[in-house]
Structure 1
Amino acid sequence: MTLPLRVLGALLCSLVVSAEVVPPADFNVEAMAGKWYLIGFATNAQWFVSRRASMKVGTAMLTPTADGDLDLSYSSLNSDGSCWRMNNLAKKTDMPGKFTYTSERWGNENDMRVVDVKYDEYALIHTIKTKGGVPTVVNKLYGRGMDLSADLREKFRQFSLESGVQPDNIAFLPKNEECPAP
């Protein structure tokens, strides 16, 4: 099979999986509040291939708003001691656990869904990012601490494969120091 056909096949599989991703019925946005560590990252985005080796665990602060939206604040300490930061406001939808936002930094449209969550331990997030009509899948595995069980890591790996991500594009990030408060 030619490369373009494989890419198209993976893309179609990811879109089908994404349409079927339904957040937990008892999703509670308030319980998502607080600090999470980004431990697993999986995507079919081309940029990941060249940046994967430099990626490390980062932190996300999730803050529910009074309207039920979710303020997302990410940071990751770079090897030179500087911090990479990004903020977005994810707007709630009619489906609890599904949010949409436009990335202020990248200008892409994001359909973000909580796939699975145990609020005091882990969260698995599935996002379809669309820019210029081209969708990409990004799956993230967050933990309340930097260590998660082998079973949770395998669950994330399996979900990522099912959503069209190639095995080489599934990464468990090395531990990292946190950025100082801004």
Structure 2
Amino acid sequence: MKCHLLRMLAALVCVLTGCAPAMPVKDFSLEKMTGKWYLVGFATNAQWFVTHKDHMKMGVAMLTPTADGDLDISHASLKADGTCWRMSHLALKTDTPGRFTFYSETWQNDNDLRVVDVLYDDFALLHTIKTKNGVSEIVSQLLSRTPEVRVTLQEKFTQYCTENGILPENIAFLPKNG
């Protein structure tokens, strides 16, 4: 019930504030996205995150363009028990540069991923709409080329998330592993 109320509240906030659909950044360059990124910020109103965010740590994502213009995404992070958690997806390009789709076998959901802001040598802000059984959730991620995140970038991410209906208490800057 609480989760349902949070979703309704987030949707209402979007309607009242006039949220536009998240659009990919103009002049997106797939090639410049290539390489190692640190997952330093994560935000969603999804119930699984609310109950697990205190245990999440910074992870590493490797982004590799394919010859067809798709994006191979490999993510790894250290779990609390010291083991490594890995996940990979082949995100398929769409007609809109900076927008990709993929199905997650792990979570059994459809994903619509958009790169909504980026400075290729610094940070990338990703907006993903995850849909399972007709229910959609927004996940925002802040990627950085380094594990350190400056305050201005944290503020930018926080503002983006709240403007898109994510509650401030559901925005996390992930601590380093180790």
The answer to whether the superposition gives a TM-score over 0.5 is yes
Match of 1:11 in 2: 11
Aligned ranges for residues 94-133 of structure 1 at < 5 Å?
94-133=95-134
Offset of residue 12 of structure 1: 5.2
CA distance in structure 2 between the aligned counterparts of 1:5 and 1:50, rounded to whole angstroms: 16
Match of 1:135 in 2: 136
Q: Which runs of 5+ in 1 are unaligned?
A: 178-182
TM-superposition CA deviations, 1:88-131 (whole Å, max 9, x none)? 11000000000000012111000100010011110000000000
CA distance in structure 1 between the aligned counterparts of 2:34 and 2:58, rounded to whole angstroms: 19
Matched to 1:138, the amino acid is V
- Does the 8 Å contact 2:38/2:61 carry over to 1? yes
Please, which moves more after superposition, 97-106 or 3-12?
3-12
Please, which moves more after superposition, 135-144 or 73-82?
73-82
Matched to 2:7, the amino acid is V
Match of 1:43 in 2: 44
1:55 to 1:4, Cα distance in 2 relative to 1, 3 A? closer
Aligned ranges for residues 1-182 of structure 1 at < 5 Å?
7-11=7-11, 13=13, 17=19, 20-177=21-178
CA distance in structure 2 between the aligned counterparts of 1:56 and 1:170, rounded to whole angstroms: 13
CA distance in structure 2 between the aligned counterparts of 1:100 and 1:54, rounded to whole angstroms: 28
- Does the 8 Å contact 1:107/1:131 carry over to 2? yes
TM-score by structure 2 length?
0.92
Offset of residue 3 of structure 1: 8.5
Matched to 2:165, the amino acid is G
Q: Which runs of 5+ in 2 are unaligned?
A: none
Matched to 1:170, the amino acid is I
Offset of residue 150 of structure 1: 0.7
- Does the 8 Å contact 2:50/2:170 carry over to 1? yes
1:84 to 1:46, Cα distance in 2 relative to 1, 3 A? same
Matched to 2:135, the amino acid is V
- Does the 8 Å contact 1:87/1:104 carry over to 2? no
Offset of residue 9 of structure 1: 3.8
TM-superposition CA deviations, 1:42-88 (whole Å, max 9, x none)? 00100011111110000000000001100010100123221001011
Offset of residue 4 of structure 1: 5.4
- Does the 8 Å contact 1:14/1:137 carry over to 2? no
